[in-house]
Amino acid sequence: MTDLTGKTALVTGSAQGIGLAVAKALAAAGARIAVHGLPGEAAADAACRELVEAGAPDAKFFGYNVMDPAAIDELAEDVAAWGGADILVNNAGIQHTAPLADMPPEKWEAIIAINLSSAFYTMRAMMPEMARRGYGRVVNIASVHGLVASKEKAPYVAAKFGLVGLSRVAALEYAAQGDKSKGGVTVNCIAPGWTETALIGPQIEARAAAHGGDRDAGIADLLAEKQPSQRISDPSEIGALALWLCSPVAHNVTGTTIPIDGGWTAQ
């Protein structure tokens, strides 16, 4: 198992879902976890306790709204004062589905801000210090929708395609930082397909309604349309890959986007 003793990881949107699963994987490897969510996040205390139980030597909540670049600067300063982030996982994200002509402009702005711009601001603030230390890992939670498009998801697809491109630029700029013994500085994306999280809850409910309220039938209908394996992923699977990307053996894996999508993007 990767040993992250002495490392600190900031995982945005980590009070629940994929973010919490990634944080738990890093915690089990010995990393301190900077838990992030909105100010006053109800699940924050429980998440911190769960991460300490998983193995983190410490877990602290940082409540900031990452729609606001100034708040992200404050977040970066607070994490730096706590010891700085050796690992940054940009996971915070929201979704809204609607046809292009009906997409509310405020939804476009919010999705781009949280799913894309926030990653730019966190990376801009934290990667120079990673380079100085000679070790850094940025794992951006993208989506299959950063590789292929779907109808009624214009801002989400635009944001995730942008996140993949942003990650490639950062990977190139920092590729020669650090050395093999320290681990270097890498930037990669994970692109989940259908994963059991609250984010896809409304889509599952809509499909279930078409099947008389049968949730399992709704999930099966959703998977059959795009995901050839017809198996939904568990957030812990994304956590396991994120942990591997943080290991020393992954020092030359940078600028990649790795799907966990049951063959969705192979079609």
CA-based nearest residue to 11, from 44, 40, 57 = 44
How crowded is the C-beta side of 147, counted as CA atoms within 13 Å?
20
The span from the CA of 71 to the CA of 9, in Å, is: 18
Q: Assess whether 174 carries a catalytic annotation.
A: no
Please name the residue that has the structure tokens 């929201």: 94
Q: 5, exposed or middle or buried, with CB in 10 Å at 0-12, 13-18, 19+? A: exposed
Output the CA torsion 106→108→109→114 (10° steps). 120
- β-pair partners for 190: 141, 258
Q: Show the tokens assigned to 262.
A: 């049951």
Q: Are 66 and 124 in contact (CB under 8 A)?
A: no
Catalytic residue among 64, 135, 156, 174: 156
The span from the CA of 83 to the CA of 116, in Å, is: 25
Residues classed as catalytic: 156
